[in-house]
């Protein structure tokens, strides 16, 4: 791995360089194997001898720069403390939301800043067959290495779009029911979901921005039976997705 590639890979841990280069990194065997089966364009692949021996056919059909390197190089230049397999340099996708193409249910994230939470939400969406997530500009960057890692490969199947949410709701067709996750509202256990729907989840500590409340048709809450002050946004997302899917099959 020459110095130019090392410098580039290290720089892609920062959002400003990912945006400038139009590139991001994917690390670890699980995520990279998912990547190679997706429609993302891989620009370069750096892997250990072990990875090459385990995946000879995949590598032979891959049309990008490839180089075998050491575990030390992977760990020194990547974001993982322990990476004994592979790092990929990948092109980012265009951020163009197809509103007419939205079906069934879309998740909307308002200011969800923790990369681990965002990666978990992507994984949950994938589990429940949800293909699109719309994010406010303040939400964690999809291409953050921590987001990609936490998604466990689901980043290849779920599309994220970033835009100001008031503009999104102003353009959203009236046929969509907009459901907001609030501390107080209709009990989710008794709520009848409809399709198509938009489910809005807010900031980990502050909830949904008051400026967006006017767009919410239904305020829905997850009832508490104990003393915890609130739920993690990833956990809340899973509960909402599960209740939706129990009523609306894909």
Mean pLDDT of the chain: 95
Question: Which residues of the chain does CATH 3.40.1280.10 include?
Answer: 99-247
Q: In angstroms, rounded to a whole number, what is the distance separating the alpha carbons of residues 115 and 49?
A: 31
DSSP type of residue 129: T
Question: Which residues of the chain does CATH 3.30.1330.30 include?
Answer: 3-91
Candidates 83, 70, 90, 85; CA nearest to 26 is 90
What is the percent of the chain with per-residue pLDDT over 70, rounded to a whole number? 99
CATH 3.30.1330.30 fits 3-91, yes or no: yes
Q: What is the pLDDT of residues 186-242, one digit of tens each?
A: 999 999 999 999 999 999 889 999 999 999 999 999 999 999 988 999 999 999 999
Q: Average pLDDT of 17-23?
A: 98
Instruction: Decide: 108 and 200 in contact? Cβ < 8 Å.
Output: yes
Instruction: Decide: 8 and 21 in contact? Cβ < 8 Å.
Output: yes
Considering the entire predicted model, what is its pTM?
0.95
Provide the pLDDT for residue 158. Answer: 97
Provide the pLDDT for residue 83. Answer: 62
Provide the pLDDT for residue 216. Answer: 97
Domain 99-247 class, CATH top level: alpha beta
Rg value, the chain, Cα: 20
């Amino acid at each position: 791995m020459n110095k130019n590639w090392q410098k580039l890979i290290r720089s892609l841990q920062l959002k400003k360089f990912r945006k400038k280069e139009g590139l991001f990194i994917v690390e670890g065997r699980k995520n990279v194997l998912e990547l190679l089966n997706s429609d993302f364009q891989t620009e370069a692949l750096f892997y250990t001898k072990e990875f090459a021996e385990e995946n000879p056919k995949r590598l032979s059909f891959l049309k990008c720069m490839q180089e075998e390197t050491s575990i030390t190089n992977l760990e020194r230049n990547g974001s993982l403390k322990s990476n004994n397999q592979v790092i990929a340099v990948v092109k980012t996708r265009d951020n163009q939301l197809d509103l007419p193409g939205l079906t069934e249910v879309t998740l909307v994230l308002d200011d969800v800043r923790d990369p681990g939470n965002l990666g978990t939400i992507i994984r949950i969406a994938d589990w429940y067959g949800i293909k699109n997530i719309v994010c406010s500009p303040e939400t964690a960057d999809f291409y953050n290495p921590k987001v990609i890692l936490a998604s466990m490969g689901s980043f290849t199947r779920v599309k994220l779009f970033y835009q100001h949410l008031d503009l999104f709701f102003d353009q959203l067709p009236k046929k969509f029911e907009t459901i907001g996750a609030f501390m107080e509202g209709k009990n989710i256990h008794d709520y009848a979901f409809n399709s198509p729907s938009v489910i809005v989840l807010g900031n980990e500590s502050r909830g949904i921005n008051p400026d967006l409340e006017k767009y919410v048709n239904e305020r829905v809450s997850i009832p508490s039976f104990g003393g915890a002050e609130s739920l993690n946004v990833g956990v809340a997302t899973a509960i909402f997705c599960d209740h939706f899917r129990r009523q609306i099959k894909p």
